[in-house]
Structure 1
Amino acid sequence: MTPRVDRINRVFLILIGIVLVVIGVLALLQSGSVFGSARAKSPVVSDPTAHWYGANGTWFWPTAGAVMLVIAGLCVWWVSAQIRTQGSTRIELDRGHDGTVTASAAALADCVEADTIAQPGIARARAKLSSVGEITRLHLTLWVESPYDIADAVARVTNTVLPHLSYAFDGPTPRPLRTTIHVEAAEAPAARLR
């Protein structure tokens, strides 16, 4: 998820949270007779409002339905923005007179994971590759084994795994590689419970 999407999420969630809190507080205050006992006993929808809905139902309810469809569409767009992966799932390795060589980002990520796990001191790895324009992005998570020498693990990845991946992009037009490495401790579940 990009920082822009994160920012939009936070703004929307804060606004929705504020609106819901205000509605909840007003409902509690009304039911607690803060606005008067007559108001606390009044129905949620007053008679004049109910009559207005009845008199204008021919246009009001279709309009309300259309607004709800627009809101539902915005919700679907928002959810798809959360799960959408940025960039292409195919990465161009080489382009020449005979054609273009592309590879699956998932297959390259599997190769990076296998190469990373082969390094001493690294128990597990998870890689995600995507292509945005001419730039290839690699997000790599390492689980480092005891004695948790993080500097050594990152150095091994930087000096061995990344050059192997960069070699795949060494065509006539090499692709820039942007790498993010996240390191975690590969502890046994029992060790965490102690």
Structure 2
Amino acid sequence: MLRSVNRVVLALAGLVLLVLGGSVLAVGLGASPPSWWLHDGRHDVLLDEAERTRWRDEGWFWPTVIAVLAALVLLALWWLSAQLRRRRLAEVLVATGDGEGALVRGRALEDVLAGEAESLDGVERARATLTGRRGAPRARVELVLEPRAMPSDALRRFSSEVLAPARDSAGLASLPATVRLRGVKHRADRVS
């Protein structure tokens, strides 16, 4: 969901910047702008003398401009750090017993965890995500339970029948997991 929102916001921002920049370039190259456009022609400036000096004597103007620009810079830096931070583990280091180890794709282990969880009685859908370091992964699992499933039973069975074998087969000392349980939406049963 966050990935699609990110792409939509980037696409809209890019489109707005492209249209504004292209229109300013077209007017600068001699195209005649429409009557409602900000600039009259090729030799028009972005801010004339009156617009640049209108708020100079107001005490609130420059601190507000600086605060807004600083907030925009901080927001852009936060967005950049969110883009560079990896949310998913790309590979897991599996102990092979020879001291070297092997690398297993994180997505493959996620798919195995989700598939095994979906095979449990009472679990309709499952999704797993691995985070952390490749030598010490952490699992985030979402289980969607069927209407009549017992959450405590589903969690106990997931721990013993899915998580423990995955930890043992990967040769990990521990595989901490955060499990989120949700119930599937369904209609109420009618009693006649």
Shift of residue 88, structure 1, vs aligned partner: 3.8
Inter-CA distance 187–101: structure 2 relative to 1 (3 Å threshold): same
Instruction: Give the equivalent residue in structure 1 for 2:78.
Output: 78
2:144 maps to amino acid: W
Aligned equivalent of 1:5: none
Return the letter of the residue paired with 1:179: A
Letter in 2 for 1:177: L
Question: What is the CA deviation profile of residues 139-186 of structure 1, one whole-angstrom value per residue up to 9, with x for unaligned ones?
Answer: 00000102131011101101100112112222xxx3421110000001
* Residue 90 (structure 1) aligned with residue 94 (structure 2): no
2:154 match: 153
Distance change (3 Å), C-alpha of 1:71 and 1:155:
same
Identify the structure with bigger relative contact order (alpha carbons < 8 Å, sequence gap 6+).
1
Q: CA distance change for structure 1 residues 177 and 48 in 2, over 3 Å: closer, same or farther?
A: closer
Superposed displacement of residue 89, structure 1 = 1.5
Residues 53-132 of structure 1: matches in 2 within 5 Å? 74-82=74-82, 84-86=85-87, 88-94=89-95, 97=98, 99-132=100-133
* Contact 1:113–1:125 (CA under 8 A) maintained in structure 2: yes
Specify every segment of 5 or more residues in structure 1 that has no aligned partner in the other structure, as ranges: 1-44, 53-63
Which of 176, 179, 184 is residue 178 of structure 1 equivalent to? Answer: 176
Query: What is the match of residue 49 of structure 1?
Result: 53
Conserved 8 A contact 1:91-1:131: no
* TM-align CA RMSD: 3.5
Corresponding residue SS for 2:153: helix
Deviation at 1:136, TM superposition (A): 1.2
Deviation track 1:12-53 (CA, whole Å, cap 9, x = no partner) reads xxxxxxxxxxxxxxxxxxxxxxxxxxxxxxxxx98893496x
- The DSSP-based 3-state class of the residue aligned with 1:123 is strand
Q: Which amino acid aligns with 1:154?
A: L
The TM-score, its normalising length taken from structure 1, stands at 0.55
SS of the residue 1:103 aligns to: strand
Q: What TM-score comes out, normalization by structure 2 length?
A: 0.55
List runs of 5+ in structure 2 lacking aligned partners. 1-48, 57-64
* Alpha-carbon distance between aligned partners in 1 of 2:117 and 2:51, rounded to the nearest angstrom: 70
Q: What residue is the counterpart of 2:37 in the other structure?
A: none
**8 Å CA contact retained: 2:93, 2:134:** no
CA contact (8 A) 1:129 1:137 kept: yes
Q: What is the percentage of aligned positions where both structures have the same residue?
A: 19
Q: What count of residue pairs does the alignment treat as equivalent?
A: 131
Structure 1 or 2: more helix by fraction: 1
Name the CA shift for 1:168/1:145 in 2 (closer, same or farther; >3 Å): same
Give secondary structure in 2 for the equivalent of 1:130. strand
| Residues 118, 87 of structure 1: alpha-carbon distance in 2 compared, 3 angstrom cutoff | closer
Q: Check conservation: 2:95, 2:170, Cα contact below 8 A.
A: yes
Distance 1:141 1:87, change over 3 A: closer
Give the drift of 1:138. Answer: 0.3
